[in-house]
Structure 1
Amino acid sequence: MGKKITLSVIKADIGGFVGHSNVHPECLETAGGILAGSPLLIDYHVTHVGDDINLIMTHELGKNSGEIHELAWNTFLSCTAVAKKLKLYGAGQDLLADSFSGNVKGMGPGVAEMEFEERTSEPVIVYMADKTEPGAWNYPIYKMFADPFNTIGLIIDPKMHGGFLFEVRDLIDNKKVTFSCPEEIYDMLVFIGAPGRYCIKSVYQKGTNEIAATSSTQRLNLMAGRYVGKDDPVLIVRCQSGFPAVGEALEPFANPHMVSGWMRGSHSGPLMPVSVNTSSPTRFDGPPRVVALGFQLADGKLHGPQDFFADVSYDLARQKANEIANYIRSMGPFEPHRLHLDEMEYTTMPDVSKRLKDRFEKVE
């Protein structure tokens, strides 16, 4: 057995520049300086999508390491101090606690981590989204690991032909269930087709139980009990040699699917694949964005990134996303552009309902 590497991606919105559109360069410099000085890490990369800072870190301390989580927490605290100094919007909004309590899960930041033994070649993709929620990954993960029209490897690669195991989380009741695909695809789709509640947490290779993909499933509003913004989730996918090829893992985003989030976290819109440099959502604070950074892992070192969605082959996807955004925006405050009432519980909706409840008369 070789040594295991842990890849941790931890993100937080600690203040937007300007509004909810971007991260101030001084915040990114602060984060990079702190991670550079840590003896805990093998390697790291600091980046952003929209107004979220993303810390991509490799180490040998395993998942849920208190030391790594505390490092991330202290990094976000330092960035928050910079944000407050610059009077950035929503400074520290994702930090729901006053002090670190051993693990950042449940404290605001989004977390995706996986531990594995490096293969002869270890390509990974880190996906980062802004202005949406964890359920945004359901459609692309399904396409990557269960749809042969997207991933031809499911048919022609003997290592993939048996399918994959999908761990699905119920974010409301805090339960999980594992589906074996392809034979349980129809059962799984009943649940993952409702991404506001059911999210694919992880995917495993059948037979070996080797981790193939994992996502962040933190829902800020459920943790805070009030509206504090969308969750802006992250996803890690390992590629090649029994997993989807890099191109198969990227392919789902060539057709922008509808996700929840966008303006005030209360609207549906297309998920637009973009480069880091064009990841600032400005139109109606959107439309929602996704960035894909590729790394070649070697002894824990992150060689990269390759900014995959900077490729011109995603120009049509962006055009389509803009056309969808144009259409759905014309619906204004009407569903399905505005989210269903169940998703509006952290807005003015409860206050208005309470104020007007006596004016509702029974219909004879």
Structure 2
Amino acid sequence: MATTISVCALPLGGVAGSVTVFPDVLQKASKVLKEAEGTVLTDSLVTHVADWLVFVMVHQEGGASPVIAALKDAAIKAATETSEKRRLLIRDEIPVLTGLSFTERESEAFVLFLAGAAAPQFWNPVLLAQFADPFTTKSLVGETKFVFCTEDASMFQMPQDLHRLITAAKTSAIIGVAADADTPAAAAAAGVVMLARAESPYPSTSELCGVFAKPKISPNGVLMPVSLCDGGNVASGIVPVVALGFSVANGKLSGPVDLFDNPAFAAARIFAGKISCR
């Protein structure tokens, strides 16, 4: 049976404004999801970036399950009650949702990218670099090719449709990448959340993360790859980006590994700090 990883993010429980999520809010949401493990869920995790509360739900209910939707709503309700009690910041935005359903490989690795900004085409340049640029992902030089899907349901086969995709990506968000119809590779939402499977036949974890080792500027600000503990929204013009690595086996998560907690990304962090001060 296919394993599904569903991710939900919403700006809820911000302390000191929109800096980060208050710990009690994380705990309340986590309790709701943990109580569902063994019945609805096989595993779960509650985390955050900036003031975005993030649920990771692992299950076998498929991608559009009313049961999972109800559980998500229950976790949001519990987190909201705590936020209101403490008068924490609750921004009026709809939840950001994405997910992947797949048959687990012998060793199934994936990376959850979280960004402290919501924008329709936020992940486009990242996904293009990871899954369409052979200078970033060496396996693209060989037989590995991916198909991109945009929010208007248009499909783009690499490498022959690369120029069309670059043009389309200026106005349309890339929401998914696949190796073929039955083999999803990545899924993205309107900023905030992106999931990518790692290791052969997909880009390696280092290739997925290596995109952020080079300075990147987006319309929302300069991207700064940071550890989870540094993912607060504290400087205007800087978008914190967190990468959490996992392995999953029989629906159970191992991880997360805080992938950007590494000096390899120090140069990108320094660049972001200098640019934001100008």
User: Does structure 1 residue 59 correspond to structure 2 residue 69?
Assistant: no
Partner of 1:310: 261
Q: Distance in 2 between matches of 1:176 and 1:62?
A: 20
2:132 partner letter: A
Partner of 2:161: 184
For the residue of structure 1 that corresponds to 2:176, the secondary structure is strand
Partner of 2:22: 24
User: Does structure 1 retain, via aligned residues, the 8 Å contact 2:13–2:53?
Assistant: no
In structure 2, the gaps of 5 or more residues are none
Paired residue for 2:252, among 274, 277, 301?
301
User: Does structure 2 retain, via aligned residues, the 8 Å contact 1:273–1:309?
Assistant: yes
1:36 partner letter: K
Partner of 1:98: none
Query: Taking every aligned residue pair, what percent have the same amino acid on both sides?
Result: 31
Q: Distance in 2 between matches of 1:274 and 1:260?
A: 19
- 1:87-114 CA distance string (max 9 Å, x none): 112x2623xxxxxxxxxxxxx1111111
User: Does structure 2 retain, via aligned residues, the 8 Å contact 1:8–1:57?
Assistant: yes
- 1:180-222 CA distance string (max 9 Å, x none): 1101101111121x2xx3111100104x6410001114xxxxx
Whose strand fraction is larger, Structure 1's or Structure 2's? 2
Q: Deviation at 1:312? A: 1.2
User: Does structure 1 residue 127 correspond to structure 2 residue 113?
Assistant: yes
1:93 partner letter: D
2:226 partner letter: V
Q: Distance in 1 between matches of 2:262 and 2:91?
A: 33
Partner of 2:42: 42
User: Does structure 1 residue 241 correspond to structure 2 residue 240?
Assistant: no
Change in 2 beyond 3 A, CA 1:22/1:92: same
| TM-score, normalised via structure 2 length | 0.95
Partner of 1:250: 209
Q: Deviation at 1:281? A: 1.3
User: Does structure 1 residue 167 correspond to structure 2 residue 166?
Assistant: no
In structure 1, the gaps of 5 or more residues are 95-107, 170-174, 218-231, 262-268, 328-364
User: Does structure 1 residue 259 correspond to structure 2 residue 207?
Assistant: no
Q: Distance in 2 between matches of 1:200 and 1:129?
A: 16
For the residue of structure 2 that corresponds to 1:322, the secondary structure is helix
Q: Deviation at 1:256? A: 3.0
Q: Distance in 1 between matches of 2:44 and 2:219?
A: 30
User: Does structure 1 residue 211 correspond to structure 2 residue 162?
Assistant: no
Q: Distance in 1 between matches of 2:208 and 2:234?
A: 27
Partner of 1:319: 270
Partner of 1:101: none
Between the two proteins, the alignment pairs up a number of residues equal to: 276
Change in 2 beyond 3 A, CA 1:190/1:310: same
After TM superposition, where is structure 1 displaced by more than 3 Å over at least 4 residues in a row? none
User: Does structure 1 retain, via aligned residues, the 8 Å contact 2:113–2:193?
Assistant: yes
User: Does structure 2 retain, via aligned residues, the 8 Å contact 1:112–1:216?
Assistant: yes
Paired residue for 2:128, among 142, 149, 157?
142
Change in 2 beyond 3 A, CA 1:87/1:113: same
Q: Distance in 2 between matches of 1:278 and 1:291?
A: 9
- 1:237-263 CA distance string (max 9 Å, x none): 0011211111111111112322233xx
Q: Deviation at 1:35? A: 0.6
1:33 partner letter: K
Partner of 1:355: none
Partner of 1:151: 137
- 1:319-358 matched pairs, under 5 angstroms: 319-327=270-278
User: Does structure 1 retain, via aligned residues, the 8 Å contact 2:120–2:172?
Assistant: no
For the residue of structure 2 that corresponds to 1:317, the secondary structure is helix
Partner of 1:93: 92
